[in-house]
Amino acid sequence: MSAASPSAPSKPVDTRGLAGQTVGDTQVCAVTQTQLIYRGYEIADLAEHASFEEVAHLLLVGHKPSASELKAFRDELASMRDVDQGILDVVGRIAESKSGQAEVHPMGILRTGVSLLSHVDPDCEDNSPEAELRKSKRLLAKIPTIIGFGQMRRDGRKPVAPDRSLDHSANLLWCMTGVKPDELAARIMDVSLILYAEHDFNASTFACRVIASTETDMHSAVCGGIGALKGPLHGGANEMAMEMLKDIDRDCAGGRMTVDAWMRRAFEEKRKLMGFGHRVYKNGDHRAGILRRWGLKLAEKLGPSAKKWFDLGDEVQAIMLRDKNIHPNVDFPCGMTYFVMGIPVPQYTPIFVASRITGWCAHIMEQHANNRIIRPLAEYTGPALRRWNG
């Protein structure tokens, strides 16, 4: 019998960033390579048949609302939208200020606004389930008001008061733009908020759970989530994806350069192209196709100047798939969709917060309900033991 040939050494698994590691359990959401499920309901089903407020109730309260529960939930949220004028004054001053030559990022403004909300919330230091649900609803209701107030002050316009007759998505658009959205725009925003509402232990949600595990208050945990979401590798990706498309459009205008050549140059320069790839969805993010279809519907209605962004996006997407075998994630069509809706690019990530606050709060409540402080171990790779006076 011949001797068995030695087996090739196995390639070490790269677990940086906790890649492939299961660090807890949850009843809120399941993410697999082929599905995204909120409390048992698949995302395409929710995007097609549910409203964002129904999804918010599902995540925060824990079940699909009846007609009467939904009405009560909507009415309660609408009644909570007003924000203390002192907080709005601070938000407005920050929004109008300059940091060097750059404007303050809206995510920084929103993070401060949420922190200030904690000081006027009567339940701030109460982590009981009942108090945390009340805080969750207040945060959900008030965040669009802060976003809109900050944007209007950035624009030098007079802010508008939240409109109790509008649903969450339409009111968010109204607060940001001062224009009542038509039915299609409101529905597109609603779908985008459904798609962004929850995504298990992503960076910002995990940050919220780590902070919550110390048994601190919900507002503190949410501020940590906002800080994590601000990063371009997480929530800021939709902003960067649209900025990339604007760069391509500018460089290729008038036939100066083809999109293919622009992409080859980006590959050679090892430029990070935002809106592509995903840690879990190796064969494509199914949320991306849903949002692209809705965005394209609006672009076709608005005409060639809007549709050109989707034509450009499709060309970029095809090149990425052909040359790199990398699919777009939901941030790629989101950038184009929000852009043709006339939403300022720096507000894309705050809009993400107006949705993901539901998932964050659901996870914070779940963490507090069955808590153990999150404290993983680290592999030490520093110098060997040595003496200070050696």
Q: For domain 237-340, give the fold.
A: Cytochrome p450-Terp; domain 2 (1.10.230)
- Among 235, 232, 310, 229, which Cα is nearest to 271's? 232
pLDDT in tens, 98-123: 655 457 899 999 999 999 999 999 99
Residue 1 confidence (pLDDT):
43
Residue 4 confidence (pLDDT):
47
Q: Which residues have a Cβ under 8 Å from the Cβ of 57 and sit 6 or more positions away?
A: 63, 64, 65, 69, 70, 73
Q: Which residues have a Cβ under 8 Å from the Cβ of 374 and sit 6 or more positions away?
A: 23, 24, 209, 210, 213
- DSSP letters along 291-337, please? HHHHHHHHHHHH-HHHHHHHHHHHHHHHHHHHHH---B-THHHHHHH
Could you tell me if 197 and 361 are in contact, meaning their C-beta atoms sit under 8 angstroms apart?
no
Residue 11 confidence (pLDDT):
62
User: Which part of the chain is CATH 1.10.230.10?
Assistant: 237-340
Residue 10 confidence (pLDDT):
61
> Residue 234 and residue 224: Cα distance in Å, rounded?
13
As annotated, the active-site residues are 234, 278, 331
Q: Which residues have a Cβ under 8 Å from the Cβ of 240 and sit 6 or more positions away?
A: 232, 274, 275, 335
Q: What is the pLDDT along the chain (390 residues), one digit of tens a residue?
A: 444 445 555 666 676 777 667 778 899 999 988 889 999 999 999 999 999 999 999 999 999 999 999 999 999 999 999 999 999 999 999 998 765 545 789 999 999 999 999 999 999 999 999 999 999 999 999 999 999 999 999 999 999 999 999 999 999 999 999 999 999 999 999 999 999 999 999 999 999 999 999 999 999 999 999 999 998 888 888 888 999 999 999 999 988 899 999 999 999 999 888 888 776 766 778 899 999 999 999 999 999 999 999 999 999 999 999 999 999 999 899 999 999 999 998 899 999 999 999 999 999 999 999 999 999 888 899 999 999 997
Residue 2 confidence (pLDDT):
43
Please give the radius of gyration of the chain, using alpha carbons only, rounded to the nearest integer. 23
Residue 48 confidence (pLDDT):
97
Residue 22 confidence (pLDDT):
72
Q: Which residues have a Cβ under 8 Å from the Cβ of 123 and sit 6 or more positions away?
A: 131, 132, 134, 135
Residue 349 confidence (pLDDT):
94
Q: What pTM value is reported for the model? A: 0.91
pLDDT in tens, 130-166: 999 999 999 999 999 999 999 999 999 999 999 999 9
Return the CATH superfamily for domain 29-231+350-369: Citrate Synthase, domain 1 (1.10.580.10)
User: Which part of the chain is CATH 1.10.580.10?
Assistant: 29-231+350-369
Residue 3 confidence (pLDDT):
46
What beta strand segments (E) does the chain contain?
A: 29-31, 36-38, 41-42, 98-99, 102-103
- Among 356, 353, 299, which Cα is nearest to 148's? 353
